């Protein structure tokens, strides 16, 4: 029986890296890329869908808006103190509370969205990751059968990989 292995390659140049991504994408292979910086060319080559973090932001913002207005309105109604002949529940000053709660809840929900979607924190060692991927190299790691490793290694080299390793 063939066992699965991780083959990873590091690249110095983005154009080489993008070519490799496109190739593995066309081959419909599962792979993970590593990059020290976000890059539009890499994003386009990966063609991934938009992140859903925005939905968290929206949900948080709406919850915040409702909570802010409700809290201010509820507390004003709890103690019906008429000041300057104005009704206790006055919307205009509550806009500030509603606004601040919208931002606060929106930001916290965005943070939560990032944590959930990007699966952070995760301290387990990623197979195929190398320290230079956080410095100046671009990396790609592919899961493959042992029999495929040689041909995959050749492909990486064709695209200009600086180093190919197997785990």
Partner 1 sequence: MEGLTYKQVNDAIINTLAPPRKFYFAIVGFFGLLFALGMSVWFYMIINGLGVAGIRHPVMWGVFITNFVFWVGIAHSGTLISAILYLFRAEWRMSIYRSAEAMTVFAVATAGMYPLIHLGRVWVAYWTLPIPNEMLLWPNFKSPLIMDVIAISTYLTVSASFFLIGLIPDIAAVREKATGIRKKIYTILSFGWHGTNEQWRHYGRAYLFFAALATPLVISVHSVVSWDFALSIVPGWHSTIFAPYFVAGAIHSGLALVITLLIPLRKIFKVENIITIKNFESMAKVILLTGLIVGYAYAIEYFLAWYSGNPYELAIFKWRASGDYAPAFWTMVICNSIVPLLFFFKKFRTSIVGLLVVSILINVGMWFERYVIIVTSLAHEFLPAAWGNYSPTWVEIVISLGSWGFFLMLFFLFAKFLPSISITEVKEILPTPKRKGSNNEH
Instruction: Tell me which residues touch partner 1 (CB under 8 A).
Output: 12-16, 32-39, 41-43, 46, 48, 50-51, 53-54, 57, 61, 71-72, 75-76, 78-79, 81, 83, 90, 93-94, 96-97, 99-101, 103-104, 106-108, 110-111, 113-114, 117-124, 126, 129, 131-136, 160
> Rounded distance, CA 165 to CA 9, Å?
6
Q: Considering the complex, what minimum distance in angstroms separates the CB of residue 2 from partner 1?
A: 26
CB of 86 to partner 1, least distance (A): 9
Buried b (16+ CB within 10 A) or exposed e, 26-50: eeeeebebbbeeeeeebeebeeeee
Our CB check for partner 1 shows the closer of 62 and 107 to be: 107
**Cβ of residue 157: shortest distance to partner 1, in angstroms?**
14
Nearer to partner 1 (CB atom), residue 1 or residue 37: 37
Tokens of 160: 């200009």
Closest distance of CB 14 from partner 1, Å: 5
Whether the CA torsion 97, 102, 103, 104 is positive or negative: it is positive
Backbone φ and ψ of 122, nearest 5°: -140, 115
Strand runs (DSSP E) across the chain, as ranges? 4-11, 31-34, 138-145, 163-166
By beta-carbon proximity to partner 1, the closer residue of 97 and 144 is: 97
Residue that the structure tokens 């990989």 belong to: 161
Cβ(112)–Cβ(58) below 8 Å: no
Q: Please, what is the minimum distance in Å from the beta carbon of residue 151 to partner 1?
A: 23
């Amino acid at each position: 029986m063939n066992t699965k292995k991780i083959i990873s390659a590091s690249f110095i140049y983005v154009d080489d890296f993008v070519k490799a991504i496109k190739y593995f994408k066309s081959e419909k292979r599962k792979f993970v890329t590593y990059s020290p910086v976000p890059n539009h060319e890499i994003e386009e080559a990966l063609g991934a869908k938009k992140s859903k973090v925005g939905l968290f932001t929206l949900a948080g913002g709406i919850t915040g808006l409702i909570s802010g207005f409700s809290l201010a309105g509820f507390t004003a109604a709890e103690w019906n103190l008429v000041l300057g002949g104005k009704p206790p529940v006055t919307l205009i000053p509550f806009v500030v509370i509603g606004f601040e709660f919208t931002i606060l809840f929106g930001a916290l929900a965005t943070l939560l969205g990032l944590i959930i979607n990007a699966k952070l924190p995760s301290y387990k060692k990623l197979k195929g990751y190398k320290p230079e991927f956080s410095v100046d190299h671009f990396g790609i790691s592919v899961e493959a059968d042992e029999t495929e490793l040689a041909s995959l290694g050749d492909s990486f080299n064709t695209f200009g990989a600086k180093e190919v390793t197997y785990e």
